[in-house]
Amino acid sequence: MFDRDPEGTMSDFPYADRFPVHRTLPEQGRPREDLLAELTAMAAEEDAVWESGKISGTMYCGDHEHYAYLTEAFAKFAHVNALQRDMCPSQTKFEGEIIAMVLDLMHAEAVTGTRPGGLVTSGGTGSILHAILAYREYAAATRGISAAAGRLPNLVKPETAHPAFDKACHLFGIENRTVPVDPATTLVDPAVVAAAIDDNTIAIVGSAGNYPYGTIDPIAELGRIALDRGAGLHVDGCLGGFILPFGEELGYPVPAFDFRVPGVTSISADTHKYGYAFKGSSVVVFSDKAIRNAQYFHQVGWSGGKYMSPGMDGSRSGGLLAATWASMVHLGRDGYRAYARDIFATAEAMMATVRSHPELRIMGAPTFCFSFTSDAFDIYHVADFMKPRGWRFNGQQYPNAIHLAVTRPQTKACVLEAFSADLAEAVAYAREQQAAGRLAHSGAIYGGVIGGLTSEVEAVMTMIMDGMLDTQQSLPPARA
């Protein structure tokens, strides 16, 4: 039987042995102070997991003072619905300025002949979904590409591009043309992309950088192909959008990936990653508002009044807009640049540590986010050894590799020292396990390293999802 959590670090019924389990809505509410005490205890324990600095990605800021500041900004508008702009003009200010600042960061001034625009979304997946929906609708309106017209739209993307693109194709009835990447560089070959394009291609995709390896696809070459073939080019900067521009300013070899590149028509950038805002915020910007506007939704005949929506969401918390705006304006370019300096330096030092072991190999030529593998042993032996010491890497596959997105919690000197010492012991352990013919337990699942995926993968993944929805989000058995 598949063991989702063999080391017992994840409980199906967390806190059931310590705090009351609510099986029905209480007849009478519990005191606020009791509930806040429970929340405080849970938060403190969960914060301790990432405060060690041994967690890949996840907590990109890791600064409790900054979180407290954002919480204060959020609280002032948490009850506000961003949909009600007539009642809450603050949301127009916040959202407009967030979009304007991202357009500026992505060099929208380089765009000529059109007017750029953008949307604030609920996260990277939301930004990608909105972009691909916009391309589908725009291609239908301007090029006659639609299933109804007998022309099934298609999207061409590298294998390393985020699965949100696959989800978009699945949801919106778009043919997904995924092309391989070079196994040595981890980058997509523009010639392979060009060969996959036809008259029904609505857009192609490049990453800056991609999640698995942190490497940046050849955006300039992809831009030339997009222009030549009349397709859009979406650059997924969800991971790198708020750190690569500052790495470039610091002198790191970051190639242009934004609107300075002819052919780039949209970019996603997550404010809730290296933008250091709260989770649930991202921005997608377009070189031409006409593309963005294509995915607007209108229902003018509804009995409840004329309905219109600029994106897929309806009601949204004004608190997230306020906190995102507050983070960006408080940090400014200088603040982001200072944090980027620390992160790039830490990533370089960590990668140097990896390279000091002949058995280990960095995948491609990454910057702030990197992945490494081994040709001498199964790299998951390394993950197995380091997990009990608090390290939480993300597992990759094809080939097996482990990934670390360096964030602010890793920039403490003690974390680098621990990484160096623990990795040295992990390599020795991996050699021993490989020589003994033992199998590693860890495996590759987005957002973590979970073991046991050796066969019937789809059935196992379904079981994991069932566990999340039907077990972990259910209740423990009632006590007699």
Q: In the predicted model, what is the mean pLDDT of residues 246-257? A: 97
For residue 13, the model assigns a pLDDT of 76
- Judgement on whether residues 274 and 132 belong to the same structural domain of the protein: yes
For residue 21, the model assigns a pLDDT of 87
Q: In the predicted model, what is the mean pLDDT of residues 454-458? A: 56
CA atoms lying within 13 Å on the CB side of residue 50 = 17
Give the chain's domain count: 2
DSSP 45-97: HHHHHHHTS-B-SS-SS--HHHHHHHHHHHHHHTT-BTT-TTT-HHHHHHHHH
**Does residue 480 fall inside a structural domain?**
no
Q: Under 8 Å CB-to-CB from 460, ≥6 apart: which residues?
A: 2, 452, 453
**For a pLDDT cut of 70, what percent of the chain falls above it?**
89
**In the predicted structure, residue 119 carries a pLDDT above the cut 80:** yes
- Judgement on whether residues 116 and 234 belong to the same structural domain of the protein: yes
Q: In the predicted model, what is the mean pLDDT of residues 419-430? A: 98
- Judgement on whether residues 144 and 288 belong to the same structural domain of the protein: yes
For residue 477, the model assigns a pLDDT of 64
For residue 437, the model assigns a pLDDT of 94
Q: What stretches of 356-443 show up as alpha helix (H) in DSSP?
A: 380-386, 413-435
**In the predicted structure, residue 101 carries a pLDDT above the cut 80:** yes
pLDDT single digits (tens) 370-407: 999 999 999 999 999 999 999 999 889 899 999 999 99
- Judgement on whether residues 300 and 356 belong to the same structural domain of the protein: no
At residue 445 the predicted structure's pLDDT band, cuts being 50, 70 and 90, is low
- Judgement on whether residues 277 and 363 belong to the same structural domain of the protein: no
Q: What pTM, to 2 d.p., does this model score?
A: 0.91
For residue 2, the model assigns a pLDDT of 31
**Does residue 250 fall inside a structural domain?**
yes
CATH number of residue 447's parent domain: 3.90.1150.10
From 302, 328, 354, the end of a domain falls on: 328
Question: Considering only 192-196, 374-378, 454-458, which range has the smallest mean pLDDT?
Answer: 454-458
Helices and strands of the chain, counted as H and E runs: 13, 15
**In the predicted structure, residue 252 carries a pLDDT above the cut 60:** yes
Q: In the predicted model, what is the mean pLDDT of residues 50-68? A: 93
**Does residue 478 fall inside a structural domain?**
no
**Does residue 349 fall inside a structural domain?**
yes
Distance CA 243, CA 261 (A): 18
pLDDT single digits (tens) 20-53: 888 889 999 999 999 999 999 999 999 998 999 9
For residue 441, the model assigns a pLDDT of 84
CATH number of residue 137's parent domain: 3.40.640.10
For residue 465, the model assigns a pLDDT of 56
At residue 1 the predicted structure's pLDDT band, cuts being 50, 70 and 90, is very low
- Judgement on whether residues 283 and 407 belong to the same structural domain of the protein: no
**Does residue 216 fall inside a structural domain?**
yes
Domain limits for position 389: 51-62+333-467
- Which is it for the CA torsion 364, 189, 285, 106, positive or negative? positive
For residue 23, the model assigns a pLDDT of 83
For residue 461, the model assigns a pLDDT of 58
At residue 414 the predicted structure's pLDDT band, cuts being 50, 70 and 90, is very high
From 328, 357, 387, the end of a domain falls on: 328
- Judgement on whether residues 337 and 323 belong to the same structural domain of the protein: no
pLDDT single digits (tens) 160-171: 999 999 999 999
- Judgement on whether residues 410 and 337 belong to the same structural domain of the protein: yes
**In the predicted structure, residue 450 carries a pLDDT above the cut 70:** no
Q: Give 87 or 348, the one with higher predicted confidence.
A: 348
**In the predicted structure, residue 426 carries a pLDDT above the cut 60:** yes
For residue 469, the model assigns a pLDDT of 55
Q: Which residue has the tokens 């919690």?
A: 409
Question: Considering only 6-20, 156-170, 315-329, 339-353, which range has the smallest mean pLDDT?
Answer: 6-20
Q: Give 121 or 314, the one with higher predicted confidence.
A: 121
- Judgement on whether residues 179 and 273 belong to the same structural domain of the protein: yes
Instruction: Give the pair of three-digit tokens for residue 87.
Output: 């009642």
Q: In the predicted model, what is the mean pLDDT of residues 445-457? A: 50
For residue 5, the model assigns a pLDDT of 45
**Does residue 211 fall inside a structural domain?**
yes
DSSP 430-443: HHHHHHTTPPP---
Distance CA 331, CA 466 (A): 41
- Judgement on whether residues 373 and 438 belong to the same structural domain of the protein: yes
From 328, 357, 389, the end of a domain falls on: 328
Question: Considering only 74-78, 156-160, 309-313, 442-446, which range has the smallest mean pLDDT?
Answer: 442-446
Question: Considering only 103-117, 250-264, 415-429, 453-467, which range has the smallest mean pLDDT?
Answer: 453-467
**For a pLDDT cut of 90, what percent of the chain falls above it?**
80
For residue 308, the model assigns a pLDDT of 86
Q: In the predicted model, what is the mean pLDDT of residues 407-416? A: 95
**Does residue 298 fall inside a structural domain?**
yes
- Based on the number of CB atoms within 10 Å of its own CB, is 86 exposed (0-12), middle (13-18) or buried (19 or more)? exposed
**Does residue 146 fall inside a structural domain?**
yes
- Judgement on whether residues 192 and 140 belong to the same structural domain of the protein: yes
- Judgement on whether residues 216 and 340 belong to the same structural domain of the protein: no
pLDDT single digits (tens) 258-291: 999 999 999 999 999 999 999 999 999 999 999 9
